[in-house]
Structure 1
Amino acid sequence: MSPQRNIGAGAEAELPEYAGHYRLEARLGSGGMGVVHLARSTSGLRLAVKVVHAEFARDPEFRGRFRQEVAAARRVSGAFTASVVDADPEAGRPWMATLFIPGPTLAEEVKRNGPMAPARLRRLTAGLAEALRDIHRVGVVHRDLKPSNVLLAEDGPKVIDFGISRPKDSELRTETGKLIGTPPFMAPEQFRRPREVGPAADIFTLGSVLVHAATGRGPFDSDSPYVVAYQVVHDEPDLTGVPEDLAPLIRRCLAKEPEDRPTPDELMRELRSVAASYDTQLFVPGQRAGAQGAAGPEREPESEPESAMGPAPDSVPHPAPAADQAGSGPADGAAGKPVRRPGRWPGRWMGRRLALVAGVCVLVVGSTLTAVELLGGGKEAAHGSDAPRTASAAFAGWQARPVAQGGGVPHCVSAAGRVVCAEPG
């Protein structure tokens, strides 16, 4: 079979047809150190195969770095990266195969559709913070986080290309006077002391990536890489156009000194507080409304509605009395137990009360007719209540205790989730 043809001159004009036993079907992209192809395994699994440029394949130092890239990529879990399936750093043209992840890169997405909306930007920030936590946890520093190395998959962003990453236990070191990286997405220490680059450098480049996602440009912009390098080391970042809620957090990421930047865990904690005002707003229970007599069928305290969003789950305790309007009573137990409020009869006690009354009453039919008459004049019955009325009462009908006149016994009937009480006369 003839090799794949590629438009262009030089050593890459003819590309290999196989990498190991994986057939290369199409070219996905090209970087400074290799070409990435779409390939399939024998079982049909789609893979992304990176094949090193021929000129670098002859460089022993580069082969050492490629072996380091494979080792670093294998250390990180596949939750936030492309999992390594196979590799051969010792082949004539070294290669590495990872799972193929459908989706554009962040660079392609911004170029095609413009800056991200604030909600998508917050999700991107959270996903990349989790990815860096996963990468740093296994002792790897990526050192080249940039929009073209972030894939936007359906289940969140994936960080790819560990070509210049370095595990902490690596024996390879950057040579004096040699800079490795992409200037607009490099940390100050990568220019000043490249041999001392640590995890905090990835946090700085994360800040630059987020500014690009939010505005379509970087925080340090110039046509000259030398000017960009000066700006990264000495100038303040330009955050014009970054959402106000994320700007302070991104500014912290872009601090000049590594110790002043947040860790991935700190980033995620702060993002949760930001999301509380936006993405999770619908799930925050509201306070009780002050409407009287508008409640539906009464429920036991464990399941009565906590907000306009609907009934609260049985396992969720009532909020503390301080969250209610005026007139609420104090809690009568430890945290997590239902709170009894004045004028409300607990469900079990009410059941026993009804059973007792049912035994005493001899004329249930007459009581029911009297109840119907009472319902017709419910306003007069309500005015005769001695119990205080509160603004926050959700079940106004439970606030009045029926008081017998002339020594009679109130007759109560339960039906359709309501309790109706009548008294003689």
Structure 2
Amino acid sequence: MDPLGADDPQVIGAYRLLGRLGSGGMGRVFVGRSAGGRTVAVKVVHAQFALDEEFRARFRREVDAARRVGGAFTAPVLDADPEARIPWVATGYVAGPPLNQAVSDEGPLPESAVRALGAGLAEALAAVHALGLVHRDVKPSNVLLALDGPRLIDFGIARATEGTVSLTSTGASIGSPGYMAPEQILGEGVEGAADVFSLGAVLAYAATGKPPFPGDTSAALLYKVVHDEPKLGPELTGDLRDLVAACLAKNPADRPTPERIVRRLAPEDGASGLARPGWLPGALVERVSRQVVELLDLEAEAVALPPAAERPAIGSSATVPPAIGPSSAGPSATEPPAAGPSTTQPPTEDSPTPPPAPAPGSPLLGAFGPPDPSYANGLPPKDRPAGPPLPSPPSPPSSKPGGRSVALSAAVGGKKRPKALSCTLVLSVAGALAVATTAAVLFKVLPGGSADNNDQGAADPHASATERNPGDGAPDGSGKGAVPKAFLGTWQGDLTSDSGIPVGTLTITFRQGRTGQDVAGGRVKLSVLRCDSTWKLVSAAPKQLHLDARLKGSEPQQGCSDASTDEQFTLTSDGALSYKAKDEQAGDPTGTLRKLH
């Protein structure tokens, strides 16, 4: 955790903020305290999402779904305001590191701890599945290690199986590379068995310190998930090894149910019998204790902050909204401490009133967790860009739906977008191409994405004439510029890595522009995964363009490579376009594009 910065809000809703936990693809996370003394984690969505009415509707559904979930090993939703100028949600706070951070720093967990971990997470999944929900993103960074047991967090992309589309940003996969089930990767129907597969991968990682499907690139990793057997290592033995292997079965029907997993791991007293005080190794117990002390220090520092009236608040009646400034990710730039409850105590009387629980006396559980990289021990995690400030005024009470406005600087933070990001989608499997033609109907309502499932419209349909045609303002892209006329228009073709693995279908639209300007927009799509990008002109020749690609949006997109500053597009004698990228993470992809129009 970091202390609040000068531009951070001091109050969100009824919660006084004490420090910053980090920033993720959907928003930023703060630690705060209610007037009654309960510690909470508050996630505030990014400003660009607040402008999207469809996002607000999905956010509202996700919060409602998260509030339905109960169980001792998830995190309670205490409060939320989907209708606020900048929507937010508050959950209980867990003093404990994410599993991936704990294993990276302290090494694999002992078998007794792995059993307690598995039983607790399986019990949490049983509660989720009983409500017709699927978590869809069970991974080490979404598991917190508290003194009284593990917590499964981040239900921000969980969705009701009745058709509720889950929250995610453009380019982000529903699930995380290396911990996705084969059916998720292939774009098939996803049910509770997919969470069981992910749980098996998490337990293998906890016991060995390595993911069961290692790979030098995401493309190779995803291929292994679908086609190869898991590598469980010598650390996993006996019935625990057999259980993990069963969870990782390729056929969903062959995997055990969460209830059966609990019975196999904790046949006598259930998960709570294993997750007693002392279930964690001594080094992790000491670490959690230090985290509690750090929180107390932040509380002491908060006393010296100016009164709430002197600093703006989110979700209050303040006339001047706050600026949510750059976020720091705590102990690790990419894996800050996360949000969740340290106990399952009910809210205090002066805390915001929570919604009814699924059953009398059961806590309100399930919510949004900390920012994190897409998977552990795969590609090296990258620092996330600084979060955007929110300087715009709130909408007047009489504003109609859709009338909200946030200054452009709020969406991009008044800063340049990340540099040297490639559009090449590196999540791939050989079998995914078989379903690529049906995948276009998915992700139609993603924030920042296109509602048109025709990839020929890959360029931003809402871009201004200047954005579509930088340099000369000609709306048809036919004005003067450095791009040869033969390139103008929309092209499409399949890409493969240097090892022959498919890495997606590229659709790109070239427009007129000069060196240093954006001259193209498009996306790479593979099954249900996609990366939307823009390309800047580096140099131009009569038959060849050198472009620098970067992802759209202010946050890294899960599953997208991030190191291609040199992409070559060359006209061939048969009227096609040869594509070549220097992008080691994506396997230096190449392909042949054909003109669509």
Query: Shorter-chain TM-score: what band?
Result: 0.5 to 0.7
- 1:268 equivalent to 2:243? Answer no
CA distance in 1, matches of 2:190, 2:142: 19
More helix by share: 1
Distance 1:190 1:23, change over 3 A: same
- The CA deviation string for residues 324-360 of structure 1, in whole angstroms up to 9 with x for no partner, is xxxxxxxxxxxxxxxxxxxxxxxxxxxxxxxxxxxxx
Distance 1:98 1:5, change over 3 A: same
Indicate conservation of the 8 Å contact 2:205/2:212, yes or no: yes
Indicate conservation of the 8 Å contact 2:58/2:167, yes or no: no
CA distance in 1, matches of 2:172, 2:148: 37
- 1:231 equivalent to 2:205? Answer no
- The CA deviation string for residues 152-194 of structure 1, in whole angstroms up to 9 with x for no partner, is 1122111111111012234337999973221111111111125
Distance 1:78 1:249, change over 3 A: closer
2:200 maps to which residue? 207
Identify the match of residue 253 of structure 2 among 246, 253, 259. Answer: 259
CA positional deviation for 1:249: 0.7
CA positional deviation for 1:56: 2.4
2:211 maps to which residue? 218
Indicate conservation of the 8 Å contact 1:179/1:191, yes or no: no
Length-normalised TM-score, structure 1:
0.58
Distance 1:114 1:274, change over 3 A: farther
CA distance in 1, matches of 2:34, 2:172: 38
Indicate conservation of the 8 Å contact 2:62/2:167, yes or no: no
- 1:104 equivalent to 2:97? Answer yes
Q: In angstroms, what is the RMSD of aligned CA positions?
A: 2.7
CA positional deviation for 1:274: 11
CA distance in 2, matches of 1:173, 1:51: 17
CA distance in 2, matches of 1:179, 1:144: 10
Identify the match of residue 117 of structure 2 among 120, 124, 128. Answer: 124
CA distance in 2, matches of 1:58, 1:225: 32
Distance 1:23 1:125, change over 3 A: same
2:384 maps to which residue? none
Indicate conservation of the 8 Å contact 1:214/1:241, yes or no: no
- 1:187 equivalent to 2:174? Answer no
Indicate conservation of the 8 Å contact 1:57/1:94, yes or no: yes
- 1:87 equivalent to 2:80? Answer yes
Indicate conservation of the 8 Å contact 1:57/1:63, yes or no: yes
Length-normalised TM-score, structure 2:
0.42
- The CA deviation string for residues 90-124 of structure 1, in whole angstroms up to 9 with x for no partner, is 21221111111211111121122100011111111
Indicate conservation of the 8 Å contact 1:80/1:134, yes or no: no
- The CA deviation string for residues 286-312 of structure 1, in whole angstroms up to 9 with x for no partner, is xxxxxxxxxxxxxxxxxxxxxxxxxxx
1:140 maps to which residue? 133
1:49 maps to which residue? 42
1:72 maps to which residue? 65
Higher RCO (C-alpha under 8 Å, 6+ residues apart): 2
CA distance in 2, matches of 1:46, 1:205: 30
- 1:249 equivalent to 2:250? Answer no
CA positional deviation for 1:63: 2.6
What is the identity, as a one-letter code, of the residue corresponding to 2:100? A
CA distance in 2, matches of 1:45, 1:222: 42
Indicate conservation of the 8 Å contact 2:44/2:89, yes or no: yes
- The CA deviation string for residues 69-93 of structure 1, in whole angstroms up to 9 with x for no partner, is 2122201115121111100112122
CA positional deviation for 1:26: 0.5
Distance 1:57 1:227, change over 3 A: farther
Distance 1:168 1:88, change over 3 A: same
Indicate conservation of the 8 Å contact 1:65/1:164, yes or no: no
Unaligned runs of 5+ in 2: 275-597
CA positional deviation for 1:269: 2.3
Q: What's the % identity of the aligned pairs?
A: 53
CA distance in 1, matches of 2:148, 2:73: 9
CA positional deviation for 1:257: 1.4
- 1:62 equivalent to 2:55? Answer yes
What is the identity, as a one-letter code, of the residue corresponding to 1:213? A
Indicate conservation of the 8 Å contact 2:117/2:150, yes or no: yes
1:5 maps to which residue? 5
Q: Following superposition of structure 1 onto structure 2, how do residues 341-352 of structure 1 map, counting pairs within 5 Å?
A: none
**Partner-residue secondary structure (3-state), 2:185:** helix
Identify the match of residue 160 of structure 1 among 153, 156, 165. Answer: 153
CA positional deviation for 1:136: 1.1
CA distance in 2, matches of 1:66, 1:113: 36
CA distance in 2, matches of 1:274, 1:255: 26
**Partner-residue secondary structure (3-state), 1:97:** strand
Larger CA Rg, structure 1 vs 2:
1
Indicate conservation of the 8 Å contact 1:65/1:163, yes or no: no
Q: Following superposition of structure 1 onto structure 2, how do residues 358-369 of structure 1 map, counting pairs within 5 Å?
A: none
Q: Following superposition of structure 1 onto structure 2, how do residues 267-346 of structure 1 map, counting pairs within 5 Å?
A: 267-272=261-266
What is the identity, as a one-letter code, of the residue corresponding to 1:202? D
What is the identity, as a one-letter code, of the residue corresponding to 1:110? V
How many residues are treated as equivalent by the alignment? 268
CA distance in 2, matches of 1:226, 1:17: 43
CA distance in 1, matches of 2:146, 2:72: 11
Distance 1:99 1:174, change over 3 A: closer
Indicate conservation of the 8 Å contact 1:131/1:159, yes or no: yes
1:366 maps to which residue? none
CA positional deviation for 1:4: 4.3
